[in-house]
Homo-oligomer: A and B are copies of this chain.
Amino acid sequence: MSSRGNLRSAKADNLVVPKAAVGRLSLYLRQLECEQKDGTATVSSRRLGESLGFSDAQVRKDLGYFGQFGHAGVGYRVAELIETIRGILGTDREWPVALVGIGNLGRALLGYRGFRRQGFRIRAVFDLDPKKVGQSIEGIRVESPESIVARVTDLDIAFGIIAVPADAAQHVAERLVAGGVRGILSFAPVSLALPNDVSLVQVDLAIQLESLCFRVRGGRRAGES
């Protein structure tokens, strides 16, 4: 079925896109949106990369994984490339999201502008604490974990965000999966076992600080400080 014409697209059809390249795509998008606000019509790979700390080759190669979007001698048209990247990432539409756990972190995520800006809407919120169930936060009623499966199914929710303590995370994850989510973003510091047709992104805040700590100390070996 593979799309139009030439042999080149063989590469694009293969799913051999470095994982890191996808992350950079998001960064390009961010930067492009910024350029657009400044009224810039076109950018070169060099300029796009420079403002983010990447080489021009990196930018071209990354975009090259998905197709040919540039204009030789000109660069990339900002508006066009924004649309294209949104199409690639899938953020050219709205995605309903479920949030489980409405502690400090959950609340922060619920109010986080960045999600909404990229089309992610938190449509359902759950919490394990019966005292919180029934409350309304940011205009959304907190529901009991019992209803996860039904609600996620009903609302056709594709993504779940887990912001509960470590020991509840696996259980919550399973309910989300039973409800049909296709991906989970977890902030719980445990590794989750999921069916492999469900994607998982783990963000562990403490680990970020730990790497920083290691790097700052110059990668010292064990033993003493």
Contacts and interface: CB of A to CB of B under 8 A. Distances in A.
A225 B194 CA distance: 26
Chain A interface size, as a band, is: 35 or more
Contact of A92 (B95, B107, B225): B225
A54 to B, nearest CB: 10
Interface string A168-212: 000000000000001111000111000000010101111111111
24 contacts: A6-B224, A9-B221, A13-B221, A17-B219, A22-B210, A30-B189, A67-B222, A87-B222, A87-B225, A89-B210, A95-B213, A97-B209, A104-B108, A107-B108, A115-B209, A118-B206, A118-B210, A120-B206, A183-B212, A183-B215, A185-B209, A185-B212, A199-B216, A201-B209
Interface of A: 3, 5-6, 8-9, 12-13, 15, 17, 19, 22-23, 25-27, 30-31, 34, 51-53, 66-67, 69, 84-85, 87-93, 95, 97, 103-105, 107-109, 111-112, 114-115, 117-118, 120, 158-159, 182-185, 189-191, 199, 201, 203-225
